[in-house]
Structure 1
Amino acid sequence: MDECKVIIMGFGSVGQGVANALSMKKDLIKDKTGVSVKVVAAADSSSSAISQDGLDEELLVKTKKEEGKLAAYPEFGSDKSGLDVLDAVEYDCLIEATPTNIVDAQPALSLTLKAFEQGKDVVTSNKGHLALKFKEIVGAAEEAGVEFKYEASVGGSMPIINFTRDTLASCEIKSIKGILNGTTNYILSRMTSEGSDYEVILKESQELGIAETDPTQDVEGIDAACKTVILANSLLGIDATYSDVKVEGISNINSQAIELAKKDDYLIKLIAEVSPENLQVSPRLIKRGSSYDVSGTLNMATIKTDLADEVSVIGLGAGSLETASAMLTDLISILKNKN
């Protein structure tokens, strides 16, 4: 395999990050794998740019930012979107970066299963289809004999799935506990350092682009619960879906509660716990100075094992290039395996 033709589905922050990262790292990927990567299609929710000869990643991002839609890409813009794009061009790997949908997992579910049916590998940053139908999707990939990678779905640039599987391959994983949502960690960190109320920090977070206009998935613990399901299935072998997780968010945390915790040298953090006995996301008291004492949009997780005891990982849990870094790592892994 000398060349890998990829489709980028979803061209919001993460999809654009993948395009920018590919533009920056093409030579490195070629050096590491011996394979040249070429973007043959990119699609947003209503349009696309498609060319079997390859597209310019920087021009894709420029077009989306300036024109608002990929149909405006010079010469190769198209009104095709969704599943139609997968039929419109020859490709080897689908890079799936559409928004997470926790209701019916679309469009990620249909896109992923169709790519498998076409015999194509898939790299995703999406959580919805994995949180709702993990076993079905992984089973479909195995049946099709293709590779399916989803490191970016849990920790942004924080390595956890590949790290645990590869570096801790000799260990049995007993449990995982950590901070899996950067937005809530940022809000709680700011409330702790400034003594401000939840509503004030949430509004500022939205203005900075750290929290979404509709922050429900983050602040109500839904995002962290999806990640809990993915870790439970992929690393502990627990057959779980989103409905199996007990979920409580941070919207009821006030400045008085945080001040009371501080007096006893504690912090309040939104903690996800993954174990055979408990799948839960909830605000908890953690000791100041412990491994869970991380600020800003950082994510962290402590992996409890039988041989290595506890191993902690930390990294930025959100961000365009940060998430793209995990997706490119997955792509490199696939290309190495192919070669």
Structure 2
Amino acid sequence: MRLIIVGFGTVGQAFARTVMARQRGLLRVFGLRPRIVAVVDRGGAAVKAHGLDFEAIYKAKLREGSVSRDPAVGRPSVTAHDVIETVDADVVVEVSPTNLVDGEPALSYIETALKRKRHVITANKGPLAHAFPALMELAAYNRVLLRFSGAVGGGTPILDLGKKCLLGDTVSSIYGILNGTTNYILTRMFEAKTPMATALREAQEAGYAEADPTSDVEGLDSACKLVILANWVMDRPITLSDVKVRGIREVDVDAVARARDADCVIKLIASITEKAAEVKPQPIPRTNPLNVGGVLNAVTYRTLSAGEITIIGHGAGGVETASSMLRDLIDIRRSLTV
């Protein structure tokens, strides 16, 4: 399968490296022969029909700041749209920087790829949060697949559990901790009685929080992931505007202390039920399976037949997210042979 990778940061590089390192196993076990024919970053593109040399373009990225600076295959003036439109490929892997305001430019990249009848794999929450129903409809119309396992839970198969492993059952509601940054902050506030500002600074120093943590602290990141879960697992056609969101800025050490006295912890819980979709900090019993520490994510599916099922794992990381994207690639390959 011929792949175009749009975005060559941490996740894009990890995905490319993973695919290249596992080529023999992918061919032997799944009959999958991935070939990266183009990589796009902010400086341009690298294109080679027979497949790019990962190490060569990676060195160009490190040395010159862009894959387009590779003297053999670089194309400095080429845009992502140009590549998606003109380079022969089966799958577009979209991992450009996330924009939670309107999903662009990733939303346009995905739309262009689907219209060109190319399958799409993305770990980008922005486009899915703003236009999930429309994108799925566009994919179905063009008879291609849109997959996004890495957009929720990093390498933890949260979406696969809800969509594939609960077939035949009905998921009535979902509750979860979907953001590792805020969970780290709230864990520190509970365990060490650390003020929020200090806990946030610690998270930034440890690399768990961005320099601008607004989307995490305000609950927007969790809300985007909730939209994806609602659409994919519960067939609820909602977008980000349908989610009621309240972040953790108003949580102080006194509120955490009151929760502790009640044998509870405060967590930023994202939930979807028949009545509402919302993200808000709330106390939960310390015995609740969602009471996970540090940067862990946890999701509980409430089902009609199997009861409550909880999955726990790390929700971020380049290598972890790349593993989810590889599962998506294998899923697309299998779908084409059915």
Short-chain TM bin:
over 0.9
One of 15, 19, 27 as aligned partner of 2:16:
19
One of 215, 232, 235 as aligned partner of 1:234:
232
Task: Give me the identity figure in percent.
Answer: 40
Aligned ranges for residues 1-339 of structure 1 at < 5 Å? 4-79=1-76, 80-339=78-337
Residue 57 of structure 1: how far off its partner (Å): 2.5
Describe the SS at the equivalent of 1:155: coil
Asked if the contact 1:236/1:275 (under 8 Å) is kept, the reply is: no
Gaps of 5+ in 2: none
Deviations 1:130-168 (A, max 9, x none): 111111100000000001111111111121222222211
Equivalent position amino acid for 1:20 in 2: R
Deviations 1:94-117 (A, max 9, x none): 011112222222111111111112
Residue 311 of structure 1: how far off its partner (Å): 0.9
Equivalent position amino acid for 2:330 in 1: I
Bigger shift: residues 252-261 or 231-240: 252-261
Equivalent position amino acid for 1:65 in 2: L
Describe the SS at the equivalent of 2:164: helix
Bigger shift: residues 64-73 or 224-233: 64-73
Bigger shift: residues 252-261 or 280-289: 252-261
Q: How many residues align?
A: 336
Residues of 2 paired with 1:276 and 1:74: CA distance? 56
Describe the SS at the equivalent of 2:96: coil
Residues of 1 paired with 2:281 and 2:55: CA distance? 41
Residues of 2 paired with 1:29 and 1:184: CA distance? 36
Equivalent position amino acid for 1:177 in 2: Y
- Which runs of at least 4 in structure 1 moved beyond 4 Å after TM superposition? none
Deviations 1:286-321 (A, max 9, x none): 111320111121111000111111111111101011
Asked if the contact 1:22/1:57 (under 8 Å) is kept, the reply is: no
Asked if the contact 1:115/1:121 (under 8 Å) is kept, the reply is: yes
Residues of 1 paired with 2:247 and 2:53: CA distance? 41
Bigger shift: residues 56-65 or 19-28: 56-65
Equivalent position amino acid for 1:98 in 2: S
Residues of 2 paired with 1:219 and 1:60: CA distance? 36
Asked if the contact 1:124/1:153 (under 8 Å) is kept, the reply is: yes
Asked if the contact 1:151/1:159 (under 8 Å) is kept, the reply is: yes
Describe the SS at the equivalent of 1:91: coil
Describe the SS at the equivalent of 2:97: coil
Asked if the contact 2:6/2:41 (under 8 Å) is kept, the reply is: yes
Residues of 2 paired with 1:306 and 1:182: CA distance? 29
Gaps of 5+ in 1: none
Asked if the contact 1:9/1:95 (under 8 Å) is kept, the reply is: yes
Residue 74 of structure 1: how far off its partner (Å): 4.1
Bigger shift: residues 10-19 or 328-337: 10-19
Per the normalisation by structure 1, the TM-score is 0.95
Residue 186 of structure 1: how far off its partner (Å): 1.4
Residues of 1 paired with 2:181 and 2:71: CA distance? 36
Asked if the contact 1:23/1:58 (under 8 Å) is kept, the reply is: no
Asked if the contact 2:159/2:229 (under 8 Å) is kept, the reply is: yes
Root-mean-square deviation (Å): 1.4
Residues of 1 paired with 2:106 and 2:46: CA distance? 19
Describe the SS at the equivalent of 1:239: coil
Per the normalisation by structure 2, the TM-score is 0.95
Bigger shift: residues 14-23 or 211-220: 14-23
Residue 52 of structure 1: how far off its partner (Å): 0.9
